[in-house]
Amino acid sequence: MSSVRGRRGGSPAEGGRRATGRVPRVHSTRPVPSGLRSGASSRPGQRRTDRRPERRPSASARRRPLVTGRAVLLVGLVLLLALTLAGPVRQYLAGQAELARLAAEGEALDQRAAELREQLDRQTDPAYVEREARERLAYVLPGDRLVIVVDGEAVEGDAGTLAEATEEPEPLPWYEGLMASVADADGGADE
């Protein structure tokens, strides 16, 4: 008696598994008539009609595990790649943010420079300089009449002259002020 496993080249030491990656079929152990191979007919064109329906794999048949060694290795490599690339990706994103910030700052500086150029062009105009001198510094041209409002009263005068203010007495030196305050605190008995 020969078994199908022996004729197909598999050895009993391999546990009956072939290197095809498929689950092995369960074979019957009934004797095979001499001269005939199991599953083969005596005539080449004749089909075998007494086929048995395929049996479901029994509970003792090996199932493929859900997590294989290859899957664990692949997941490990993917994690290692992600950890390796995390630093450079973070630096790239930080560099992009820095570039955007610097571009915005450059645009603001360009706008400020344009405003300063425009102001410089205005200040080279003699009419602008004259108008600013009249408004900010109260300058007048010779022959113009200057009117200045002080404390709600209009004071008129020629260009460059103002009404005379009353003179205040000159302040005393600090030591004379100190002596006067001591005398006032004493009741003025010395005077």
Q: What is the pLDDT of residue 171?
A: 82
Q: What is the pLDDT of residue 65?
A: 79
Q: What is the pLDDT of residue 94?
A: 96
Ranges under pLDDT 70 in the chain: 1-28, 30-61, 153-167, 188-191
Q: Are 156 and 147 in contact (CB under 8 A)?
A: yes
> What gap in Å lies between CA 73 and CA 67, rounded to an integer?
10
Q: Are 65 and 26 in contact (CB under 8 A)?
A: no
Which string of DSSP letters, residue by residue, matches the chain? Answer: ---HHHHTT--GGGTT--TTSSPPPPPP-PPPPTT--TT--SSSSPPP--PPPPPPPPTTSPPPPSS-HHHHHHHHHHHHHHHHHHHHHHHHHHHHHHHHHHHHHHHHHHHHHHHHHHHHHHHTSHHHHHHHHHHHH----TT--EEEEETTEEEEESTT--PPPPPPPPPPPHHHHHHHHHHHHHTSTT-
Q: Are 56 and 23 in contact (CB under 8 A)?
A: no
Q: Where are the domains of the chain?
A: 67-141
Write the pLDDT tens digit of every residue in 160-186. Answer: 455 555 667 788 899 998 998 898 888
Q: What is the pLDDT of residue 4?
A: 52
Query: What global pTM score does this model have?
Result: 0.35
183 is written with which tokens? 């005398």
Q: Are strands 153-157 and 146-150 parallel, antiparallel or unpaired?
A: antiparallel
Q: What is the pLDDT of residue 92?
A: 96
